[in-house]
Amino acid sequence: MGDLVIRGLTLEQYALFSAEAGLLRQEWEKSEGTLDIRDKMLAILAKYGQDPRTCLDEDGKLNYHACGLIAEWHDVINDNPEMMVKYSQIPGEYISRQMFGGAGASADTAIEGVTLEQYAKACAALQGKTEAEVPALVPTLGFKDMDHWAKVRDGFNDAMGKDTTLKLATHFGQLFAKYGQEHMAAGTQYSVDVVTEYKEQGEARDKLQQDAVKQAMKMAVSGQAGGILDYLKKTFPDDAGDADALDWYLDKACDLFGEAGNRDGARAVLEVRHGLRGEEEPKKEWVENELELLFG
């Protein structure tokens, strides 16, 4: 994974490149486009060896929304759950540093005599422990007893909740990661598993949708167009009451019929679409107009 290089950048370099460009874009968007960030964006592109011409719009101006996005990397990452999780984790420290500056001062923030760093270290040590195990461990982590632990925990939770800059929460997360390598490893694997499952579900959904469009087309050419909507509603019960969702399948079928030059098939589907969409124009006229758009 680490050896893969696209457009001169490793995954780590691409993640940082995206983070830098992304933060600058955020500044620009907050200013509603009034902030001049052209030179800074060009500097970021140059820093990572990227050609500014890849981010130019039709008028030759920088397309700030495109800066920081490398399509080739985007496709590879989206197809690899482990890489996607790693990509999302890499910029965290950089973004935190840029948004909140050196968070060292917050590490010394103390509640009941316990600093943020000590609290984060204790949280990492207690992560995954059962309720029965915690009382015996708390004294070994610098706390007098469970009451002391509860006061510190509640105090930091309250402080982080009131901190609108998110500096405390951000630094707590950094410290927790520092002291909780086992937890972070487990969390990373969990994230990979979630992304993998989501990707597999998406692929299964895509195949089901493709099969549904093909089945709708078969029904249209075999004279069974009248049963298409019932079939779609049974196949996708969550969409049964959503005319727009059901029309998506019919629209895809019409496009495919158009590409295949099958006018009769398209006509059969369009007649179903007319009723589904509740078109006010008479069916015959509407269908003929749609056919004209499809076939010219």
Report the Cα 41 to chain-centroid distance in Å. Answer: 24
Whole-number Å distance between alpha carbons of 156 and 159: 5
Q: Are 215 and 222 in contact (CB under 8 A)?
A: no
pLDDT for position 104: 47
Whole-number Å distance between alpha carbons of 208 and 213: 9
Q: What tokens appear for 214 in the block?
A: 């093909």
Give me the amino acid identity at 53.
R
In degrees and rounded to multiples of 5, residue 185 shows phi and psi of -65, -40
The answer to whether the Cα torsion of 266, 272, 277, 282 is positive or negative is positive
- What are the extents of the domains in the chain? 11-100, 104-179, 211-295
pLDDT at 186 over 80: no
The per-residue pLDDT for range 88-109, each reduced to its tens digit, is 766 655 655 555 454 444 666 7
3-state SS of the chain: helix, strand, coil percent to 5? 70, 5, 25
Q: Which H helix or E strand runs over 173?
A: helix 167-179
Q: Which residues contact 179 (CB under 8 A, 6 or more apart)?
A: 120, 121, 124, 125
Specify the pTM: 0.42
Q: Quote the percentage of the chain above a pLDDT of 90.
A: 34
Identify the band that residue 228 occupies on the pLDDT scale cut at 50, 70 and 90.
Answer: very high
Q: Are 24 and 47 in contact (CB under 8 A)?
A: no
Q: What tokens appear for 118 in the block?
A: 């000590």
Q: Which residues contact 269 (CB under 8 A, 6 or more apart)?
A: 216, 217, 220, 225, 228, 250, 253, 254, 257
Give me the amino acid identity at 134.
V
pLDDT for position 166: 66
The per-residue pLDDT for range 140-179, each reduced to its tens digit, is 999 999 999 999 999 988 888 787 766 777 677 767 766 7
Whole-number Å distance between alpha carbons of 216 and 262: 14
Q: Are 98 and 165 in contact (CB under 8 A)?
A: no
Give me the amino acid identity at 41.
M
Buried b (16+ CB within 10 A) or exposed e, 111-126: bbebbbbbbbbbbbbb
Q: What tokens appear for 193 in the block?
A: 């598993």
- Degrees to nearest 5, angle at CA 118 with 113 and 123: 120
Length of the chain: 296
